[in-house]
Amino acid sequence: MPASGPYLEAPRWLRTFVRSREISLVAVAALIGGIAGLLVAAMSGAVNLLHVVLFNLPFGERLSSQTTIDPVRAILVPMLGGLLLGIALLVLLRWRPGREIDPIEANALHGGMMSFRGSIIVALQTVWSSGVGGSVGLEAGYTQIASGVASSIGRALHLRRNDQRIMVGCGAAAAIAGAFGAPLAGAFYAFELIIGGYTPASLTPIGVAAVAGYAATRLFSPLSLGISVNQIGEVTGQDLAVAALLGLIAALVGIGIMRGVALCDAVLAEVRLWPPLRPALGGLIVGLLALITPEVLSSGHGALHVTGGMTAPLTALATVFALKAIASVISLGSGFRGGLFFASLLLGAIGGHLFAAGFSALLPALHLDTSVYAVIGMSALSASVIGGPLTMTFIALEATGNLWLTTAVLIAVIVSTQTTRELFGYSFATWRMHLRGETIRSAADVGWIRDLTVRSMMRADMVTVNADISIAQFREKFPLGSKTQVIAVDGNDRYAGIVLVADAHAPERNPANGLREILRSRGFTLLPDWNVREAVAAFDRAEAESLAVLDTLDRGRVIGVLTEAHVLRRYAEESERRRRDVLGEV
């Protein structure tokens, strides 16, 4: 839910200073980045502590890197942890009805406004979900809390709408940069997924925030993806063709995983379990899978470090791939809070290794390097699920430092992203919004379109006339030149149609006839809550220059009138205004 109610407010002199100078926004972005980096380190530490306590791990060990685990803890901790999470969610629903919005939705629909309290709640849920072994990534919690802090700071400073959206992007950029040790990837995560595009006005604050987040996290928790590759030379056309094929396969796998989460959620909804039993059941299944391989537990960061060398037999890697995919689908579908970012990295790395090994078995002359294709698969699958092709390209570059390899990665993520767009149309985040009834497919700002409603554009000073009078009586009431049009209503004040005064005075009209024979737009009206796009579509359907606005379709009372010319003019004005804001033009 968007931020509402009382909030902290910065002093007027500080608000004026920040709003009047671009460099001050950069300073705010650096502050946000530093805070986000510290939050990432704190959340990561909290999850590791939960793993130590709940799974009896030595300090410094990662849960998903274990080769064996106490079977009793493997089953009971995720199951009971899911039950407690479900009970907490049930209690929370009574205290805070509705749901919390994420950074993408906040920037697309609410001008960057997020609930700080709600962001803390989501972050705690994510920490607990991963801490009890749920196969979910922490990146959703990282970006939620970091963007929530950024939104609150922007709100306290009374930032303009576009600046507020940039600050939310700064929080997410810093969180991803700190979480993956990749400031370039963090910056492009903000551009592609949180802001919805790159602009010169957003470059400096986003870049500064990403570097600050990376530096702050690195002070406490030096992170790396644990992926290494052999030195490779120039990438050939053969490599690009094989990488493109891997990108295509990765897209199909990514679509399958996203649909799997939705299917799991739908199946559990049909079963109609008591809500807290859903994550408990999911935790039980994940725990049973962990008896086969503990690498399915939690986000999989430790597993990626272990499989980075990919020395395990292919059958073992295939088992981890299949079970991790199932565990992630079940965890998210059953109600654990988190994301698919890190799971997609792990699955993509394993999948790329398996692809190269299988391809080499079929065509030994190609000599495909499995470590190289692990990186390509990692980026391609993540690009399909997360939806940020340049983000995933830079993650590969920053993880390996190999520019030639990045060329092949770029081809794979382009194919993966385009295939996903053509066959599916959503990333995981926007797919889940689609399931909730939202139509947005990116963080591009469409909130202003919803704010520009029929009610805000209509004129309420319309003139009405009884639809049951004759044309002659109408002529007496409204001579030529007195009005352009008049709204006709019936005896119960319900809308009947629109009368053009020129029509009523046309020589061919029989004055004795009733007014109803010349009524226009009888079945076409507007409602006050419709946005400008819905209004334009209604005018197209009616093929009319003006339409009446009704309070409700049931009551049918006319509360205003709106012309197509005014709607188009207001839409053009707002579009130009938003364009100038985005580009930073005065």
Q: What is the 3 state secondary structure string of 537-555?
A: HHHHHHCCCEEEEECCCCC
> How many other CB atoms are found less than 10 A from the CB of residue 389?
26
d(CA 524, CA 543): 10
Kind plus residue range of the DSSP H or E element containing 563: strand 558-563
d(CA 30, CA 142): 17
The residue with tokens 């699955």 is 347
Give the pLDDT of residue 442. Answer: 62
Give the pLDDT of residue 466. Answer: 92
Q: How confident is the model at residue 431 (pLDDT cuts 50, 70, 90)?
A: confident
Tell which residue, 207, 208, 228, 213, has the closest CA to residue 179.
Answer: 213
Alpha helices in 443-493 (DSSP H): 447-451, 454-457, 471-477
Using DSSP's 3-state secondary structure scheme, residue 251 falls into helix
d(CA 37, CA 571): 40
Q: How confident is the model at residue 363 (pLDDT cuts 50, 70, 90)?
A: confident
Kindly state the percentage of the chain with pLDDT values over 90: 49
Mean pLDDT within 95-112: 82
Kind plus residue range of the DSSP H or E element containing 466: strand 464-466
Q: Which amino acid is at 201?
A: A
Using DSSP's 3-state secondary structure scheme, residue 139 falls into helix
Give the pLDDT of residue 227. Answer: 57
Q: Which of 94-98, 397-401, 465-469 has the highest mean pLDDT?
A: 465-469
Q: Which of 6-15, 206-215, 293-302, 367-376 has the highest mean pLDDT?
A: 206-215
Local structure of residue 194 (DSSP, 8 states): I
Mean pLDDT within 465-493: 90
Give the pLDDT of residue 310. Answer: 59
d(CA 384, CA 421): 9
Mean pLDDT within 16-30: 88
For residue range 150-190, what is the model confidence (pLDDT) as tens digits? 999 999 999 988 899 999 999 999 999 999 889 999 999 99
Instruction: Give the burial string for 367-376 (b: 16+ CB within 10 Å, else e).
Output: ebbbbbbbbb
d(CA 60, CA 4): 41
Distances (CA, A) of 367 to 69, 358, 438: 37, 11, 47
Give the pLDDT of residue 1. Answer: 53
Give the pLDDT of residue 585. Answer: 58
Rounded mean pLDDT of the chain? 87
Whole-model pTM above 0.85?
Answer: no
Give the pLDDT of residue 7. Answer: 63
Mean pLDDT within 412-433: 87
Q: Tokens for 289, please give them.
A: 């899978």
For residue range 508-522, what is the model confidence (pLDDT) as tens digits? 888 889 998 899 888
d(CA 440, CA 8): 30
The CA-based angle 49-51-56, given to 5 degrees, is 105
Per the CB < 8 A criterion, the answer to whether 333 and 268 are in contact is: yes
Q: How confident is the model at residue 233 (pLDDT cuts 50, 70, 90)?
A: low
Per the CB < 8 A criterion, the answer to whether 10 and 159 are in contact is: no
297 contact partners, CB below 8 Å, separation of at least 6? 63, 64, 69, 74, 78, 133, 135, 286, 290, 327
Would you say how long the chain is, in residues?
A: 586
Instruction: Give the burial string for 93-119 (b: 16+ CB within 10 Å, else e).
Output: eeeeeeebbbbbbbbbbbbbbbbbebb
Of 103-107, 163-167, 275-279, the range with the lowest mean pLDDT is 103-107
Of 68-82, 172-186, 449-463, the range with the lowest mean pLDDT is 449-463
d(CA 163, CA 22): 10
d(CA 471, CA 479): 11
Give the pLDDT of residue 303. Answer: 55
d(CA 495, CA 550): 8
Give the pLDDT of residue 214. Answer: 94
> How many other CB atoms are found less than 10 A from the CB of residue 75?
20
> How many other CB atoms are found less than 10 A from the CB of residue 471?
21
d(CA 565, CA 328): 51
274 pLDDT more than 80: yes
Give the pLDDT of residue 378. Answer: 92
Q: How confident is the model at residue 148 (pLDDT cuts 50, 70, 90)?
A: very high
Per the CB < 8 A criterion, the answer to whether 168 and 385 are in contact is: no
Q: Tell me the CB-side half-sphere exposure of residue 294, using CA atoms within 13 A.
A: 22
Distances (CA, A) of 385 to 277, 393, 499: 28, 14, 54
456 pLDDT more than 80: yes
Higher pLDDT, 226 or 67: 67
Of 12-26, 179-193, 197-211, 569-583, the range with the lowest mean pLDDT is 569-583
- R_g over Cα of the chain: 29
Give the pLDDT of residue 155. Answer: 92
Please, what are the domains in the chain? 12-223 (1.10.3080.10), 237-435 (1.10.3080.10), 450-577 (3.10.580.10)
Dihedrals φ, ψ of 531, to 5°?
Answer: -85, 180
d(CA 127, CA 506): 74
d(CA 196, CA 103): 11
For residue range 353-362, what is the model confidence (pLDDT) as tens digits? 999 999 888 8
Q: Tokens for 126, please give them.
A: 């994510």
Distances (CA, A) of 173 to 34, 179, 249, 273, 409: 11, 10, 29, 38, 21
- Cα(first)–Cα(last) distance of the chain, in Å? 32
Mean pLDDT within 192-220: 91
Largest distance between two CA atoms of the chain: 96
369 pLDDT more than 60: yes
